[in-house]
Every structure is written in structure tokens, then in C-alpha cells.
A and B are shown apart, each in its own frame.
Chain A
């Protein structure tokens, strides 16, 4: 199976001289299409840096990243932005929605920014899936934290990206809302064949994934399939 996202000998060094820190120290990893991968590790292990480099938000000091056949290294900022807009979905821990737009407007924002017309059927399906049928015209301030994060999940899926990156998506949520968000991500993988890469420090969240990668000191120290029973 070809990898939709892959990194080869990825290195990221911050600072120089004696104070230099290697956040990533030669990471080679691939993410097959339709897989749900959780990346874990202690603070400072390099898990966030790995995700940022994979998503084209940070530029590695060595190695290559390829998303859907496109190598990120030589891309200009404009091209990178375009790639993020078209091929990547993002879910952050907080501050995920624009307060001035309604839930539905937030949901279709990646398409609007690209100047594309949303596929009404698909948008409708997403709204139903995340269970916000009666809230679509509400502003984020009128939604609960869980509801806001569900809109964010739907937004990450709306343009059918090659990969969805989720950065601690449940970090700000209570357990019930966390479960809902994790289920949604699972559903995206199972029903829509979406590729998901999730950074988390919560073992319960990681347990929902198909595969678990653990980082320490900028290297992969564990890479194994999650046993279905554990899910």
C-alpha cells in the first residue's frame, strides 16, 4: 500500500551552536491511506514538531516530506498554503473556529477560501454526522466546547483532504465530549476512508487509533498496531 504522507530522515534543529536542540533526529515514517495513527510522547519528545513538519507548518532542517505525491521542501509559502488548503485538514486544541462566522460558515470555510462551491449533499451529510443539524446558524459563542470541536472536525473533512492532522483535539474537552470527537474521527476513517494523524498525550484517545507511534528525544521509539480489542 502506498503512503499518502511520508517522511524520510526528517530532522529539525532549533537554535545553533551549543544551545542547539534536535527536536527531530532522523525520523522516517509513512502513513498509508485510510489509516488512523496516534502519535504519543512526553513533552519535548518532538511529537508536535513532527506533526508541524508533516503538515507544512514548519520547515525541517533535513529530510523530506511528501504529501499525496508532492514534496513540500521546494514549495513557496503561497504553494504551501494552497496545499494545506486543498490536501490537509486541521483540528487544533482550541481557538478552532472564527467567532464572527456561523457554525455552517465555519464548516465550509476551507472551500470558501479556495473559492469553491461546496457540495451540498456532502455538507449536509457532514452536518448530520457531527449532529449539528439544529445549530448550523449559531455562532461559536453560542455552542458548547464539544459542539465547537465537532464543527472543527467537520471543517477538517469538508474538502476531502488527503490527510487530517489533529493536534490534541480533546485537550480542552470533558470526557463525554472527548469521546464524541474521537468517535467522529474514527467514523471518518471507517466510513469515508479518511487518513488521520493525531498527536495526543492521552492514552485513552490513542487507543481509538489503528496504529501507535511513540517519540522520545526526536526519534521513533515505538511503532505498533493497536490491537482491535483494546479499542
Chain B
């Protein structure tokens, strides 16, 4: 029996290969994701190890409880340094600063083009120095800086050259004093670093009397653990965390892992979708081959094979195909990981050359998923094969089994109800972010299954809907194509369903993105401060110097400016963190726009020393009233009590909505947030807008080159443009699932035309041209694709309607990108044409005589 299975697979190489491909892609994505994230993880662990060389103990600011790994540790007071130096057993202790800045290349642009970050680092001395100078010397004065080797090489900086760095106080030009390697690498995982003296780094980071860390090396004979205890004892009462050098490197690696796990989960979700679609293809292929081999299997039964043996032969076939595909997928994953790494390199995030990391977990998961999914998908067809009666072998013609249509429909409807219920629980239930998303994902999965099971009923009307226009245009070939898709509605349905999944997700994302864009536009128009210009950082998210606002206010023609800052806080009695929105008080408050539930724009001017405004529409503001107190922990560990002075009626999509509104001076004091996210600029009446803007731009270019001014429309465009890379990434990942369903269509077409060999021979004999044969197969494919696409678009619209419901309160408005959806249908039709190329050619090339003699 085993030999029979292998012979059979060998005899049907192309079909076996196409079936296997359906699994290969999904498995490749799984293993690729693991290899990629493991490799990044290893690369950065190495960076952190290098950074902690020579460090026995590290002191950093204690991150208050409740803040996630994306919140950096707060700075610590430099007055702690003498305290640490006085500890018995401390040989050397040194304070350090490491903060994000913008380093300008010789053309005046930010290095790394927004991909790889730029940092300023205080210079350190042996034994701590992770930087090894290959040229020149470390910076000695406040006007000198050293650069990492990669930056110096890529941007053509030599010792003695001038380089401009933009920090929190604005731009400053330094003389390059030296070029350094980081450990043995030419850069710090692709980032650009400017090394300056400690006081200069503090100034550029906006730290007055503060540092990021204190590194400690102990006397001989004092171990790191012992030293850690002594330092911790000496700093008891200060808001610091004391770790050994190794613990500090591990913590940084763990923080990174936390952030990577988001990327990992995201990529695995898309891999899972591809695997799910692949399961449809496998189920369908096995169903068709079992049906086609009915006679052969029945013959085996008459020769004495038991049901169990027949079942085993099909499952064994699935096992072999699945395992083989999993192995190929695993290897393919290495290629995918390398491709993604090349992509990272292209956007400037150069990872150290650690080589791909392949953990045994990667291998096990890839092999198990590939094999198990294939076997499970083949179980139903395998069980069906056992029901073939031996007598069929002796009967004429192919016996099509009609299976319990009503039971199937009932199960499908129950599944649909279950799926929608899961979606609703995920949406409206009291579950946290992660499990809510999981519930919704599971719900969508179940809905897909339900629709796939229902679709045999839907195939006839849908085939008529999309097939009739084809018939009108192409006549008899269109007619035959439509009828061919209806010969076996179940087969067409499953084939179309595989495509439906990809299309539904693409449609959903497209609708959601359109909604997001519309909501951003609406939010900018309706809730952003009035004014003529918006000043933002060129990278779109890093804060800009608070002095920029002052400088812009002094530009002739500018009447007033209003800045907005962002921070987060942990509210007592609340899980997670709440967004904090900083505003300028004084004359600026008249510029801010908001819908009020209790209070008015004047309220913003009367917040005083502890007053805040909260959004009654979301999160912490729900159910609050004026006069209530809020106890907050800020990221610096400060505990503050604020009084609610007003309530907004806004939502997350409103600038001031979604959290707590606090004056900027208090954000600077309590939250250590010293940079502005946006500066809104209002021109004076009668000022020439073009001249005033030119004057603003000139001020920015000379003193704050990382900032730029935008008009309201330019701002909307740039905000929308920030969505584009993410959308492209999602579409590319979903395209892989769509590709899997392409194999499904090719497979079904190939098997269906193969079944009709004799009929095709007859048609060719009586004068059907090759063109006409090709046209029939092509249109069959297009009809199948369009059925999937129509189902997919409808499901995508339904998902979008459902999932946007809870966001409506936040100001999210659903818009349907009709053109995009139509384009999706057109693409699906083209996709059908593409899938038909091979099968159509094969059908047209049939030797008429052989086809007629074919049994």
C-alpha cells in the first residue's frame, strides 16, 4: 500500500507539486518570520553585550510600574554620581547620556532618511568605552564630536570636517574629532551616533543636571553581584534601578524582544492566513483526486483492500505531501528572512552580520504546522474515499456523490452565528487588547469557514451574475465556461472561497484605511487649532525643540503660536496608560478647537497649577465630572494629583481627545517632556502669507533644520502618507495568501479539464478552435475568481461595518473606496486569466485523437 502511494505521487508530479506549493508558502512565512526576528534579536543582544563590556554595575532611572517596554527609563540626577563613587569597592563610575537627535549629512538631510535612528552619546573613558577609535581622537571640547565608522564612511566625513547635529535646543555644528568602531562592528546596528563630551550631550538632550545612566566598575576582588548590592544600598531612597552589567544587557534585550514580539505576532498572523488558505486548496485538491480515482479505489476494494487501508493510503499521501512541503517551506523561509533583511538594509537599518539564526523551535513549528495542516485538510476527502463501494469499479461512468446538503447548510449557518458572536464578543466584550484581537481573528476565521460551506448554494446565482456579461460578450464560449463552473458547485465554491479570504482581508484593509484617511482629514479640519501653518519634525514623530515655537513667534507677520505635546501617564485605578496631550496656555488657547461637554475654550486658559480637561468619550474620562481628582504617575515616576476643570466630547480621532489635556509647562515639569509634537502658527491680520511662511521657513532652516512648516493640506497629505508603508506591507503580505489561492485555481482548472479530456477531444473534432478552448478555460477561471472576489468584497464590507462600530464614538467615519473595490474585482478577473494560462494551454494542445481514445 505504501508503495502504491509513492507510485501514485510520482505519476502525478505536477499535481503533487501544485498541492505542495499551497503549503510551502505559508510554512515559509512562518519559518521566515522566526528566522528574521531571532536574527534581529541576536544582533541587538550582541550590541547590548558590547555596550556593557567593562560595566560591572549599571544605574538607571526606575521606570514606574504600569509603563510598557516602549517607555524609556527616565533620566536620573547627576548628583547621584558622587554618591556612587563614594561606595566602597567602586574603582570607576561614570555618567552617560544616550538620546535620539538628528545628524545632518553633507547635503543637510537627516542621515538614514528616517529609517535608521540617529543618537548622541556622551563620550566615555576606559574601562567602559565600547567605541574603539580607528581615526582621530575622542571629543575634548564642546565643539567636537566623533562619528561611528559606518556613518563617516557612508556620508564622507573625515577628521576635521564639520557636521551639524540637531538636538533639543536646536542645531549645532561640530568639528569631527575622530571615527570609531562599535566593538568590532562599524556601527551600532545601523544607527548613526555622534559622540560628544558629557556636558554637551546633556545640553543637546535637554537634560539639566540629569543623565541616563551611571556605569560602575569595581575594584579587583569585588564581584558584580556584591558591587550591585553595595551601590543599591548607597542609593536606597532614590528612584533608580541598579543592575549588574549583564542584567542591564539582558533587560535591554528583553525590552527589545517585547517590541519585536509585536512584529513577530503580526507576521505570524499573515503566515497563518496563508496556511488557512492553503488548507482550502489542499482540501479541494484531495477531494477532486479522490473523486477522479473513485474507480481505481473501488478496484482496490474489490481486490481485497479494507476501508482502513484505503483511508490510510490517502492520509499517507497527505502526510508525504505535507511533510515534503514543510521541508521546502522551511528552506524557503530562510530565503524570505534574507529578503526581508535586505529590505531592512535598503531602508538604512543595517543589521550586524550575525548570520541567520535558526532555532530548533523554528524547525519544529514549521514542520509540524505544514504536515498537520495538510493531513487535517485531507481527512474529509480521505473519509469520503472509504465510502466508495467495491461495486463502483464495475459500473459505467463516474458516480458523483451528493452529500447531505441540508445538514451542511445547518452547520454552516451555526458556524456563521458562532463566528459573528466571537467577533462581537471581541469587539464589545470586556476583554483586553490582545485577547480581543484573538477573538476577532478567530471569529473572522469561523465566518470564512461558514461562508465557504454555504458557497455551493451561492455559486449558481453568482456564476450567473458574473457569467452572463461574459456570455453576452463572448457568446458560446462564455456560456460553456459558466456551465462548466456549475458542473460541480462544491468544487467551484471551495476554489473561490480560498480567494475570497484574501480578497475579504484586502477589501477590509482598504475600507479601513480609507476610513482612517477620511477621519484624519476630518480631524485635522475639525479639531486642529486654527492657524496658517503647522510645524512638525521632518520624520513626522520626534519632538522638536521648545525654542522653535518661541523663535517662530518672533518672526514678523506671525501673530501667535500654539504647540501640542504628547506624553502618557498611568492613572490610579486604571490598567495600562492614558495619553496626555499638552497645550500652550495664555493667548494660544483661543486657537485650539474642541467640542465641549462641560466647559469652553476659556477653560483651557484657567487650568492653573493642577487643572486638567479630560475626554468624556474615551478611557479615563468616562463617567467623570468637573471637580473630580485624578491621581497620575508620570513616566519619570512623579506622582501628581490633578483636578478636572472641564470635559470634552471628542474621541481618539480628535487632537485634544482620547485622554487628559494638560498645560505644556506642567508637561515639562512633571513629565520631563520638553519637545513639541506640533506647533500651530497663526499669521497676523494683513500679513502676507507667502512672505511670512518664507520667513518662518528661514528661521527653521537655520536654527531647527529637523523641523518643517506645512499648510493644512500638506499636513493632511503627509499624515496620510505615513499610512502608506504600513498599507503596502499589509497588502504584500496578503498578496502571499492570494498567491496560494492562485495555486488552488490552477489546480482545480487543471484537474477539471483533465476530467473532460474526451469531451474536449470531441469538441476539437467537430471544429472548436484552440482559441475557443483556451477562451472557455480562461473564462471558467475568471468566473471562479470573480465569485471569490464578490464574496470577498461583500465579507470585507461587512467586517468593516462591524469593526468600525465601536470606533464611531471616537470620531472614526467609514468611507467606502468604491474605486478601490472595483479595482479589486478587476484585479481578481486578471488573476483568473493568469491562473488559466497553464491549464488553458494544456487543454488547447490536447491531441484530438488521443483525447478521443482517452478513458
User: Considering the chains assembled together, what is the distance between the CA atoms of A110 and B769 in angstroms?
Assistant: 11
* A100-B487, A112-B475 as given contacts; A92 in contact with B852, CB under 8 Å: yes
- A113 near B768 with CB under 8 A, answer yes
| Chain B residues whose C-beta falls within 8 Å of the C-beta of A95 in the assembled complex | 758-759, 762
- B766 near A85 with CB under 8 A, answer yes
User: A101, A110, A113, A155 — which one has the most chain B CB atoms within 10 A of its CB?
Assistant: A113
Residue A119 at the B interface, CB < 8 A?
A: no
* A52-B849, A92-B852, A96-B762 as given contacts; A81 in contact with B484, CB under 8 Å: no
A111-140: CB near B (< 8 Å → 1, else 0) gives 011110000000000000000000000000
User: Considering the chains assembled together, what is the distance between the CA atoms of A155 and B765 in angstroms?
Assistant: 13
- A100 near B484 with CB under 8 A, answer yes
Residue B480 at the A interface, CB < 8 A?
A: yes
Residue B347 at the A interface, CB < 8 A?
A: no
- A100 near B480 with CB under 8 A, answer yes
User: Considering the chains assembled together, what is the distance between the CA atoms of A52 and B849 in angstroms?
Assistant: 8
* A57-B849, A112-B475 as given contacts; A155 in contact with B766, CB under 8 Å: yes
User: B762, B765, B766, B848 — which one has the most chain A CB atoms within 10 A of its CB?
Assistant: B766
Residue B763 at the A interface, CB < 8 A?
A: yes
| Minimal beta-carbon separation of B61 from chain A (angstroms) | 76
Residue A86 at the B interface, CB < 8 A?
A: yes
| Minimal beta-carbon separation of A24 from chain B (angstroms) | 14
Partner of A112, one of B476, B484, B486, B758: B476
- B762 near A84 with CB under 8 A, answer no
Q: Could you tell me which residues of chain B, from 459 to 485, have a CB within 8 Å of some CB in chain A? A: 475-476, 479-480, 483-484
Partner of A115, one of B475, B762, B770: B475
- B767 near A114 with CB under 8 A, answer yes
- A84 near B476 with CB under 8 A, answer no
| Chain A residues whose C-beta falls within 8 Å of the C-beta of B849 in the assembled complex | 52, 57-58
Partner of A82, one of B487, B758, B763, B769: B769
- A100 near B483 with CB under 8 A, answer yes
- A113 near B487 with CB under 8 A, answer no
Residue B764 at the A interface, CB < 8 A?
A: yes
Q: Could you tell me which residues of chain B, from 470 to 526, have a CB within 8 Å of some CB in chain A? A: 475-476, 479-480, 483-484, 486-487
User: Considering the chains assembled together, what is the distance between the CA atoms of A114 and B486 in angstroms?
Assistant: 25
- A113 near B764 with CB under 8 A, answer no
Q: In the complex, how many residues of chain B place their beta carbon closer than 8 angstroms to a beta carbon of chain A?
A: 24
- B483 near A101 with CB under 8 A, answer yes
- B475 near A84 with CB under 8 A, answer no
User: Considering the chains assembled together, what is the distance between the CA atoms of A24 and B185 in angstroms?
Assistant: 80
Residue B772 at the A interface, CB < 8 A?
A: yes
| Chain A residues whose C-beta falls within 8 Å of the C-beta of B762 in the assembled complex | 90, 92, 95-96
Interface residue tally on A, bucketed by range: 20 to 34
| Minimal beta-carbon separation of B468 from chain A (angstroms) | 15
- A90 near B765 with CB under 8 A, answer yes
Residue A98 at the B interface, CB < 8 A?
A: yes
User: Considering the chains assembled together, what is the distance between the CA atoms of A50 and B534 in angstroms?
Assistant: 87
Residue A224 at the B interface, CB < 8 A?
A: no
- A113 near B772 with CB under 8 A, answer yes
| Chain A residues whose C-beta falls within 8 Å of the C-beta of B475 in the assembled complex | 112, 115
Residue A78 at the B interface, CB < 8 A?
A: yes
Residue A185 at the B interface, CB < 8 A?
A: no
Partner of A78, one of B487, B763, B769, B848: B769
* A100-B483, A112-B475 as given contacts; A57 in contact with B765, CB under 8 Å: yes
* A100-B483, A100-B487 as given contacts; A110 in contact with B767, CB under 8 Å: yes
Which chain A residue lies CB-closest to B848?
Answer: A57
Residue A77 at the B interface, CB < 8 A?
A: yes
Q: Could you tell me which residues of chain B, from 768 to 786, have a CB within 8 Å of some CB in chain A? A: 768-772
Partner of A81, one of B483, B486, B759, B767: B767
User: Considering the chains assembled together, what is the distance between the CA atoms of A190 and B762 in angstroms?
Assistant: 27
User: B476, B762, B765, B771 — which one has the most chain A CB atoms within 10 A of its CB?
Assistant: B765
* A57-B848, A98-B480, A113-B772 as given contacts; A84 in contact with B766, CB under 8 Å: yes
| Chain A residues whose C-beta falls within 8 Å of the C-beta of B483 in the assembled complex | 100-101
- A113 near B476 with CB under 8 A, answer yes
| Chain B residues whose C-beta falls within 8 Å of the C-beta of A98 in the assembled complex | 480, 759, 763
| Minimal beta-carbon separation of A52 from chain B (angstroms) | 6
Residues of A within 8 A of B (CB): 52, 55, 57-58, 77-78, 81-82, 84-86, 88-90, 92, 95-96, 98-101, 109-110, 112-115, 155
Q: A78-B770, A100-B486 are in contact. List 20 more A-B contacts (CB 8 A).
A: A55-B765, A58-B849, A77-B770, A81-B768, A81-B769, A82-B769, A84-B766, A90-B765, A98-B480, A98-B759, A100-B480, A100-B483, A100-B484, A101-B480, A109-B476, A109-B766, A110-B766, A113-B766, A113-B767, A113-B768
Supply 11 A–B pairs (Cβ within 8 Å), ascending by A: A52-B849, A57-B848, A57-B849, A58-B849, A78-B769, A81-B768, A84-B766, A85-B769, A90-B762, A92-B852, A110-B766
Q: Across chains A and B, which 4 residue pairs bring their CB atoms closest together, nearest first?
A: A85-B767, A100-B483, A112-B476, A84-B767
